[in-house]
Amino acid sequence: MKSTYVIGHRNPDTDSICSAIAYANLKNQVNGGGFEARRAGNVNGETSFVLKQFQVKAPEFLSDIRPRMSDITLHEVEGVRQDISIKEAGDRMKKLKLVALPVLENNRLKGMATISDIAHADMDVYDSEILAKAKTPYQNLVKTLDGVMRAGNISDVIDHGKVTVSAASIDKMEQFVTEGDLVILADRDDAQKRAIEIGAQCIIVCMGSKVSREIQEMAESKGCRILVTPYDTFTAGRLVCQSMPISYVMTRENIITFSSNDYVDDVKALMAKKRFRYFPVLDPKGEFIGLASRRRMLGFEKRKMILVDHNELSQAVEGLEECEILEIIDHHRLGSMETMSPVYFRNQPVGCTATIVTQMYEEHGVEITKPMAGLLCSAILSDTLMFRSPTCTPADEAAAGKLAEIAGIEIEEYAKQMFRAGSDLKGKAADEIFYQDYKKFSSGDVSFGVGQITSLDQGELEEIKDKIIPYAETVRNEQGLDMIYFMLTNILEETTYLIMIGDKSSGIISQGFGAETDGCVAKLPGVMSRKKQLIPNILNIIQQ
């Protein structure tokens, strides 16, 4: 059974990652397992500090949750070896009701054998040397003819000679039997002897006839094999070509394979252009894992997801619309996300998702361990800017106090260490800084992005500003946004220096905050929260 993923928004902050880890842990405690935390972006400096402090591993990165071939129920057919006969391969297809089989060596795909390949081989009745050309093992010949070797080595391979049926008198045998041939004949001792004398490499005795001791000894001395089959000469002649190894007739070139990591939509598009019924699917190591067909592409189990710290599709991991959302735990405004069925949706006006998760631990009577308490407390301190943000509520402060006691941390000193780790941006490129905490929003036909960096050092924010301004314009153009805002928030001053990119961006800020702007930067004293202060004002002006 697939795990349910618990995941935060793209470009995750400390709350997004820590709440995902803690909530997945809570769900596992309550439900006995089956939940895994994931992240939809890189771990920033602050979050890395927190995870290291409490010795918790970062969740696995998930860039795209669209269904992959690994989500499809494949036809897990056992492949065949290259040396089996085409008859055995055909019988296997008939039993499994398939028209194709993978040919494998050490679980690596060597070719595909199809009903069409076998049919064409069976029709090729004019080449009497085909067994030799195909390097047919004698064991294939014996098995195909349901025969028994009375003389010679069954492990040998046919690599020369032609196949012939002895129906004429022994006087005329030399006209059509030459040295090295395989001769199909009946129970006539004189014909058997003559074929051996001419130098046949094998005589195939039909109708289950007994072979005399004299002829067996003669064959042994001449190096001739004797194969006895219960079939008549007509049937034996028809079956003998079906003993060729499947490797001789299988398709080797232009085989279309898919990886288990390929997206289902991409595979469907390619399948629609091809006439094949089955397509081999390989794992990341290149080993065969099963066959995909158009019919099997129609049904697959959707990945189950729990969202924390967001409820807008534009902020969610790519491909979320193709998943089944079970729960949403958030503290932001309600976005435009739609679900296929009712979900458990917990949205509270608090300063941090971790506060809600903490409450849910208490409601379920689950003990909060030191690592989980450390993560949850860190998330609250981060999101509320150590209780300075206007989004902070008494519930946040109360939860942080309890968690700090369990985690064994002193709030003010620890928070400063955490903020310094997060604001240590020296030497980082503009894109690393920009996407540490960045979200996209929309209202009607207007779309915009908002990023935020917090720091205890105003000098550091000034340096960042010179990097972010040109980069933000690049992002706006690439993402086709109307505006981009980037908050440079000084925690100690409780002030945000807002970078504004886009023709109408500064006008909206002037109207919404009454702030004076200096070029593309506005000083907003007391503005600390993107969620509660900046976004609502921007949306109000846009809607007006």
Band (290; pLDDT cuts 50, 70, 90): very high
Contact indicator for 318, 64 with CB cutoff of 8 Å: yes
Helix axes 411-422, 394-407, angle to 10 degrees: 100
Residue 427 has pLDDT above 80, yes or no: no
- Averaged pLDDT for residues 280-287: 93
Nearest to 164 by CA among 241, 246, 248: 241
Q: What is the CA radius of gyration of the chain?
A: 37
pLDDT score of 123: 67
Cα–Cα distance measured from residue 510 to residue 526, given in angstroms and rounded to the nearest whole number: 15
C-alpha closest to that of 149 among 161, 157, 138: 138
Question: In whole angstroms, what is the distance from residue 508 CA to residue 485 CA?
Answer: 11
Q: What is the average pLDDT across 366-371?
A: 97
H helix or E strand, kind and range, residue 442: strand 438-443
Identify which of 12-26, 173-187, 339-353 has the greatest average pLDDT.
12-26
Average pLDDT over residues 188-206: 92
**What pLDDT sits at residue 365?**
97
Q: What is the architecture, at CATH level 2, of domain 86-248?
A: 3-Layer(aba) Sandwich (3.40)
* Distance in angstroms (rounded) separating the CA atoms of residues 50 and 377: 10
**Mean pLDDT (whole number) for 215-221:** 94
8 Å CB contact between 505 and 475 = no
What whole-number distance in Å separates Cα of residue 52 and Cα of residue 106?
42
Provide the percentage of residues in the chain whose pLDDT is more than 90. 62
User: Angle of helix 115-123 relative to helix 86-96, nearest 10 degrees?
Assistant: 140
What single-letter DSSP state applies at residue 169?
-
β-bridge mates for residue 515, sequence order: none
Largest CA distance in the chain: 117
pLDDT value of position 190:
87
Nearest to 81 by CA among 10, 163, 24, 137: 137
d(CA 544, CA 542): 5
Residue closest to 469 by CA, chosen among 521, 529, 534, 524 = 521
Predicted confidence (pLDDT) at residue 125 exceeds the cutoff of 80: no
Are residues 250 and 116 in contact, defined by beta-carbon separation less than 8 angstroms? no
pLDDT at 541 over 80: yes
Distances from the Cα of 147 to the Cα of 228, 243, 285, 375, 520, angstroms: 5, 12, 41, 73, 90
Q: Check whether 472 has a pLDDT greater than 80.
A: yes
Burial of 210 (0-12, 13-18, 19+ CB in 10 A): exposed
Give residue 469's pLDDT band: very low, low, confident or very high (50, 70, 90): very high
Per-domain residue ranges for the chain? 4-67+302-422, 86-248, 430-543
Rounded to the nearest integer, the mean pLDDT of the chain is: 91
Q: Is the dihedral of CA 228, 231, 233, 238 positive or negative?
A: negative
Helix (H) or strand (E) holding 26, with range, is helix 14-31
- The rounded distance, in Å, linking the Cα atoms of 390 and 530 is 10
pTM: 0.65
State which amino acid sits at residue 365. Answer: G
Torsions phi, psi of 46, nearest 5? -65, -45
Q: Which two tokens stand for residue 290?
A: 């099963």
Q: What is the pLDDT of residues 18-35, one digit of tens each?
A: 999 999 999 999 999 999
Q: How many C-beta atoms surround the C-beta of residue 3 within 10 A?
A: 15
Mean pLDDT of 455-476: 88
Interatomic CA distance for residues 229 and 152, integer angstroms:
15
- Determine if residue 468 is left, alpha or beta; phi over 0 gives left, psi from -120 to 50 gives alpha, anything else beta: alpha
Q: Is 140 exposed, middle or buried (0-12, 13-18, 19+ CB in 10 A)?
A: buried
Both tokens of residue 408? 């064994």
**Among 528, 307, 543, which Cα is nearest to 446's?**
543
CATH number of the domain at 430-543, please? 3.10.310.20
User: What angle separates helix 353-364 from helix 370-383, to the nearest 10 degrees?
Assistant: 150
Average pLDDT over residues 147-160: 93
- pLDDT, average across residues 324-349: 90
Mean pLDDT, rounded, for 446-461: 88
Which residue would you say has higher pLDDT here, 110 or 117?
110
When pLDDT is cut at 50, 70 and 90, the band that residue 456 belongs to is confident
Per-residue model confidence (pLDDT) at position 484: 96
Reported confidence tier of residue 133, pLDDT bands at 50, 70, 90? very high
Match domain 4-67+302-422 to its CATH number in 3.90.1640.10, 3.90.320.10, 3.30.1330.60, 3.40.50.300.
3.90.1640.10
* Candidate from 121-135, 141-155, 195-209 with smallest mean pLDDT: 121-135
Instruction: Tell which wins on pLDDT, 352 or 299.
Output: 352
In the numeric block, the tokens 């028209």 are attached to 99
pLDDT over 60 (residue 153): yes
b vs e for 243-273, b when ≥16 Cβ sit within 10 Å of the residue's Cβ? bbbbbbbbeeeeeeebbbebbbeebeeebee
**Quick one: tokens of 523?**
């000083």
pLDDT at 126: 62
> pLDDT at position 1, please?
67
For the chain, what's the residue count?
Answer: 544
